[in-house]
Structure 1
Amino acid sequence: MFLQHNVRGRVKVNKDASVRLQDNIVLEHYGLNELHLESVRHYREQFAKVKPNHPWNGLETKDFLYKIGAWGKIRNTSKEGLTLAGLLMFSEERMITEVLPQYFLEYREYDDDMLWSNRFTSQDGTWSGNIYDFYFKVMNELKDGSEAEKEAMHEALVNAIVHADYNGDGGIIVERQRSYVQFSNPGLFGIPLEQAFSGGVSHLRNPNVFKMFIYIHFCKRAGVGLKTIETICLQQPVIDQYDFQERTVITLPIVSFPERHKQDDDLEMICDWSDNLELADSINNDENSYNSDENSINSELESINKELESVNKESNCVNSGPNSVISENNSCNSDQNSINNLTNSVNNEEETNIDQELWSIAEIARKKKRLAPAKMEEVILQLCAHRPLMLKELAYLLDRTPDGLRNNYLGKLLAEGKMRLKYPEQLNHPRQAYITNK
């Protein structure tokens, strides 16, 4: 079985090599405070899982990041900081776009009416927005294919992430239709397609990012990704290169996806694809976020970057300029008063009567994982009629994922005017809650 490929226009091989930022460049104004704590923690857990006896497991955070290529030092100076690869893998969207303004990640699904039925982007403020977390969020949405198809989708997704030109336009887009999944990324192949198909030869646009995925066994050696996809796909995948847009698109025909939009009940089939990896809940963990006000990413008091003499005055530096690091005292991820006064059991004697009542109302949703959407909406409206409830409170009461509730129910109820936000003028308010309109 051969991978089909259609080349639109003349393929330009690595035309931007002289002007684009390499992923090993050191960003001296971006230090440990620019990291998303949960992403780093999870990566280290994955590393330790596949390399339990590796000496790097005992290193401090900065030393570990240096070993894997996420941290760098500028030779002959005392300057150091995150590499561009480290920023992409483990930082947050706000910081990444300071260096790469075109950076964008998106996953989307369409229903039978060609309307979005499920969508998230790196800009929606509900998760870190980095490429490491993006991998897990996307694979969680693609978990219901066959094992062979999931392996092919894994290869295609990693291929898009490690080969994307993050200086290019359009970002990485993963689009799921009923009969196929499409992976689109900025940047053309750096070698002729015939060589890419044959395997063994590769031109790595982001070698440090690739290396970090190899360390946790998410990649094999360079040059075998397309050949692997070709080998395991049940139907012929298609690869298109669009010269005028400088984009690469890989389309995987999928034969075993269940009907997700035809049957209402199927909208409830949202669970964590990587249960053993425990990332889904940690992506949006406000309590552990480096973006809390107390540990502000750009805190001038703690910044590694407050030296007056900056190496970034050099010609090759990305961070020159007085506004290279933007202070955000009101970080959207700040949540000192962390949610969930409901985390104790309903049987706890300290639970208030109102919380016991909420628990009882939501019982049907906890017991029935495939509750009809109309019934789920009814339960949500009943809950939020008692008092304003935050997303995480609703997720806990209903035993559903926050993303599933937001994408499948809350957005619809808000659009229909059946609910309203507690802070409509501040969408990312740390205490944002949902209220039923009476």
Structure 2
Amino acid sequence: MLEISTLEDITALKESSDVECKLAQGRDGKGALPNDMWETYSAFANTSGGYIFLGLKEKKNNRFELAGIANTQKVIDDLWNTLNNQNKVSSNIIRERWVKVIEIDGKSIIRIQVPPANRKQKPVYINGNPLTGTYKRLGSGDVKQTEEVIRRMLAEQVEQSRDAEILKGFGIDDLDFDSFNAYRNMYTSMQPDHPWTKVDAQEFLYNIGGWAKDRETGNSGLTRAGLLMFGKYRPIMEAFPHYMVDYQERPEAKTEARWIDRITPDGSWSGNVFDFYNKVIRKLTADLKIPFILKGDKRQDDTLVHKALREALVNTIVHADYSGRASVLVVKRPDMFGFRNPGNMRISIDEAMIGGNSDCRNRLLQDMFRFIGLGENAGSGLPKIFDGWKSQHWRKPLLKEKLEPSEQILLELHTLSLVPDHVLAELRDSLGEHIFDGLNDHERLILVTAHIEKTVDHARMMSVLDIHPRDLSALFSGLAEKKLIHQDGSGRGTVYFLDEARKHDNTLELVSSIMESDRPAVKGPDLSSGCLSVDSGYSPTLIETAKIISKKKKAPSDEVKSVIVKLCAEQPLRLEELELLLNRSGESLRKNYIQQLVRSKKLTLKYPTKPNHPQQAYITVGGKHDY
């Protein structure tokens, strides 16, 4: 939820892929829905959702200022009336709780939250015609969609599976029999006693979904799934003119398409998705470190990472929109694995990440892979991929949608470690190998983060660990009981740290106390006295830097933050010192700027394990005084 409550919040607001601001004053200046707001409504609904703010005036620098709406009730009534008028809007997907009046500085603005529409609601269009009134959000603009994109959205709306259609004019001769026989052998080896292993080839093809019968017309033939899975390249291209599968191994961690190994349909192999999977999975897993694990008397050359890569490759194939213009692309680089398929998500990214909800675009293809032990259709694919990456302490996988130059889904699996090897070695050495190796993954990650960042808090670890806040509190308590981590502060101000961090703060406190005895005391500021002079005891550099703000009564929030960061890069500064330098009240500085800078890791505390230290000061992260 995007919350704004102050003039500074409005100043910081920018239009983006999920934010749109409108003046909405109307002819009488009391408030009215702008006509072009409905294009934004359609765009947000057909993309990833967003927020519309009414009552904000755009300035020349693309920033906004508060204008307000005098008659908010009239505007909200017009909103609901239009949303429920199908001649204007095809579908109302907004709930009452998502429309809110916000009071700021004596004026009212309206925030409207537009959720992303689900597959069966798309396209959300305006003015009664989907072909002329369908928009998507691209950057900060609302882009009218082409007829091709809209017809694909309409097809997605009514079709449960895109690959069940019987292809007229295609038959058994369009299949690559080597591919089909290889698949059947894999099926038989997995399920030797299954009755399907005993039927003839065409009956087997029918049983797995590659052949179908139209009960109304009596016609039968190859399904889209059958041709994609086992077909020859030319017939596939005749049925799917934009069909392309592509694997590239790139030598460097760069986006440029320079490859040292490539697999594309070139006439030397069938070109179908079954053979593409078999060729590519061997390439993806060729360089993985294989653990030597015995199960019974057999070696198990498999890991969670192997399973994650298999799942990612199958997902890419079975969720692709083969009528789309983008290719199925798999990239292997030294630093990552990348997967791209044409088409957009049929459920939201958040739903897909949670798992348990499957809405596969090509369900028959999904079934065919599942019959030979590859992929799931219970919505557990993405969680399995994320678990594989988490097991190696690698960066969290990135799943995203792109609209340009055509609709596509991207999955990036980076192999850069969240946990440097030297940190693991240092913790094992300091805590004892037996103790550290006896911790679970979540406990280790808390200790590792505390070791790297000196302190952690509840909010920081919630951004790292995908668990319930109550479970995280239990983890902190358990580590504290084992004396592996310590805490200071209370409530939201509680920080957790290792022994080494507290020892560092104690040493720094001792050194600082000696240095402070030779430094003039700083008393509370007299803000009526204006800017500091050079005889105030502060360096000319500090005073000159601070003048950018101290001479002004009001300054943009970003400018104030920038100056604070520059000042604290020169030397650690206490809140009362920043008050004097900037000619601002300490409470305003703390609440509106410093807390945000600390949360965004631009400032750090001089004594991180003692947040309430009487001589607490702020230091710019990465500056010359960042220890």
**Cα offsets for 1:234-275 (capped at 9, x unmatched):** 21111121133311100111369xxxxxxxxxxxxxxxxxxx
- 1:130 aligned partner: 272
Asked if the contact 2:230/2:272 (under 8 Å) is kept, the reply is: yes
- 1:116 aligned partner: 259
Greater mean alpha carbon deviation, residues 142-151 or residues 192-201: 142-151
In 2, Cα distance between equivalents of 1:78 and 1:186: 33
- 1:247 aligned partner: 408
1:176 aligns with 2:332: yes
From 189, 204, 222, the counterpart of 1:64:
204
Aligned residues: 249
Partner-residue secondary structure (3-state), 1:19: helix
Asked if the contact 1:27/1:80 (under 8 Å) is kept, the reply is: no
In 1, Cα distance between equivalents of 2:242 and 2:215: 29
Q: Superposition pairs for residues 411-426 of structure 1, below 5 Å?
A: none
**How much does 1:30 deviate?**
1.1
Partner-residue secondary structure (3-state), 1:26: coil
Q: Superposition pairs for residues 124-273 of structure 1, below 5 Å?
A: 124-143=266-285, 144-146=287-289, 147-233=303-389, 234=392, 235=394, 236-244=396-404, 245-254=406-415
In 2, Cα distance between equivalents of 1:219 and 1:241: 21
Asked if the contact 1:149/1:254 (under 8 Å) is kept, the reply is: no
- The structure, 1 or 2, with the larger RCO (C-alpha pairs under 8 Å, 6+ apart) is 1
Q: In 2 relative to 1, CA 221–78 (structure 1 residues): closer, same or farther, beyond 3 Å?
A: closer
Q: Superposition pairs for residues 354-433 of structure 1, below 5 Å?
A: none
In 2, Cα distance between equivalents of 1:240 and 1:192: 10
In 1, Cα distance between equivalents of 2:244 and 2:352: 26
Partner-residue secondary structure (3-state), 1:151: helix
Asked if the contact 2:166/2:212 (under 8 Å) is kept, the reply is: yes
The structure whose residues are more often helix, as a share, is 2
Asked if the contact 1:159/1:225 (under 8 Å) is kept, the reply is: yes
**Cα offsets for 1:13-43 (capped at 9, x unmatched):** 5453533682111113111111101111011
Asked if the contact 1:201/1:223 (under 8 Å) is kept, the reply is: yes
**Cα offsets for 1:152-201 (capped at 9, x unmatched):** 11111111011011111111000111110100011111111111111110
In 2, Cα distance between equivalents of 1:54 and 1:111: 45
5+ long unaligned stretches in structure 2:
1-16, 19-43, 49-116, 123-151, 290-302, 418-627
- 2:189 aligned partner: 49
Partner-residue secondary structure (3-state), 2:154: coil
Asked if the contact 2:349/2:399 (under 8 Å) is kept, the reply is: no
Give the alignment's TM-score, normalised by structure 1: 0.54
**How much does 1:202 deviate?**
1.5
In 2, Cα distance between equivalents of 1:205 and 1:185: 11
Asked if the contact 1:28/1:79 (under 8 Å) is kept, the reply is: no
- 2:294 aligned partner: none
Greater mean alpha carbon deviation, residues 54-63 or residues 71-80: 71-80
In 2, Cα distance between equivalents of 1:131 and 1:29: 21
In 2, Cα distance between equivalents of 1:198 and 1:51: 31
- 1:87 aligned partner: 227
Asked if the contact 1:13/1:189 (under 8 Å) is kept, the reply is: no
**How much does 1:109 deviate?**
1.5
In 1, Cα distance between equivalents of 2:248 and 2:262: 4
**Cα offsets for 1:337-360 (capped at 9, x unmatched):** xxxxxxxxxxxxxxxxxxxxxxxx
From 164, 169, 194, the counterpart of 1:24:
164
> Cα RMSD (Å) of the superposition?
2.1
In 2, Cα distance between equivalents of 1:78 and 1:212: 24
Partner-residue secondary structure (3-state), 2:325: coil
Partner-residue secondary structure (3-state), 2:215: coil
Q: Percent identity?
A: 36
Partner-residue secondary structure (3-state), 2:318: helix
Give the alignment's TM-score, normalised by structure 2: 0.38
Runs of 4+ in 1 over 6 A off after TM superposition: none
